[in-house]
Amino acid sequence: MDSLVDIEITPQMSGKKNTIISARNVDVFYGEKQALNSITLDIPENKVTSLIGPSGCGKSTFLRSINRMNDLVDICRVEGEIKIAGQDIYAPEVDVVALRSQVGMVFQKPNPFPKSIYENVAYGPKIHGLTSGKNEMEEVVEWSLHKAGLWEEVKDRLQETGTGLSGGQQQRLCIARAIAVKPKVILMDEPCSALDPIATAIIEELIDELRKNFTIIIVTHSMQQAARVSQRTAFFHMGNLVESGATKTIFTSPNDERTQNYITGRIG
């Protein structure tokens, strides 16, 4: 459905002020096993929302439901409703390729294409026909690398392979690749778990800068990272959304004992 590329997404369209993603009673099954139980959550626009919780609690499953990556798993079934800007992304007429151009994804392990730095960033705009010529493409590549905090480091080596960069640089290249198609939402699945502390700090600063232009949802095992980078936090436990709210509130005065136990290290 072309409208997922062409519509101007505004928070008002979702039916709740400042909400861009609205999930209602989302259940996810892998075969007979239920991985998510009736998840209802609103994601605000131009904020960073952290999804936290123990391993296997459903954080990444929920994240992958937002750009329908779960469609790639044959035994996976998603029920309930997820809307982006008021539009049901699981409606039969939705073009999944168009959806994923609006909802970019950065994975746990940096995964640049075995192409040049330039070609990594230009790939998305090229296949989606978003630029009209070489000059415009060069502008998009430079803009994306600037936004990803990578331009000064690679501007003289754009034709070198992206896989030759350091781990932290590769992850920023993947972020540049994700934002080159100007998505509305960026999903990040533990984007710093494979990085050293210095590279992690650079990515965290970058996330704070990117939220001016993008809505970001990040899965993280690091509660310190969630506290540093996010404005909203949702705590998952055993396939359930236990509670969500302002990050400061979740970390200092959670409503549920399970949240308190996780944050203090009693469960995890």
For the chain, 268 residues long, the average pLDDT of each consecutive 10-residue run is: 43 60 98 97 97 95 96 95 96 93 94 97 91 92 96 97 96 96 96 93 95 96 95 97 97 96 84
DSSP-derived secondary structure letter, 116: B
Q: Quick check: pTM over 0.75?
A: yes
| 37 three-state secondary structure | strand
Q: What's residue 195's pLDDT?
A: 93
Q: What's residue 268's pLDDT?
A: 66
Q: What's residue 21's pLDDT?
A: 97
In a domain, 268, yes or no: no
Q: What's residue 266's pLDDT?
A: 80
Neighbour count for residue 111 (Cβ, 10 Å): 14
Range of the domain at 164: 3-263
In a domain, 42, yes or no: yes
In a domain, 106, yes or no: yes
Q: In the chain, how many domains are there?
A: 1
For residue 239 the two structure tokens come to 């396939």
Which runs of consecutive H residues, i.e. helices, occur in the chain? 3-6, 59-65, 96-102, 117-127, 134-147, 151-154, 167-179, 197-210, 223-229, 247-252, 257-263
Q: What's residue 138's pLDDT?
A: 96
In a domain, 61, yes or no: yes
Q: What's residue 24's pLDDT?
A: 98
CATH of the domain at 25: 3.40.50.300
> What one-character-per-residue DSSP string does 171-221 give?
HHHHHHHHHTT--SEEEEESTTTTS-HHHHHHHHHHHHHHTTTSEEEEE-S
- Residue 211 CA to residue 205 CA, distance in Å, equals 10
Cβ 50 vs Cβ 188: under 8 Å: no
In a domain, 148, yes or no: yes
Cβ 19 vs Cβ 112: under 8 Å: no
| 82 three-state secondary structure | strand
For residue 118 the two structure tokens come to 């330039």
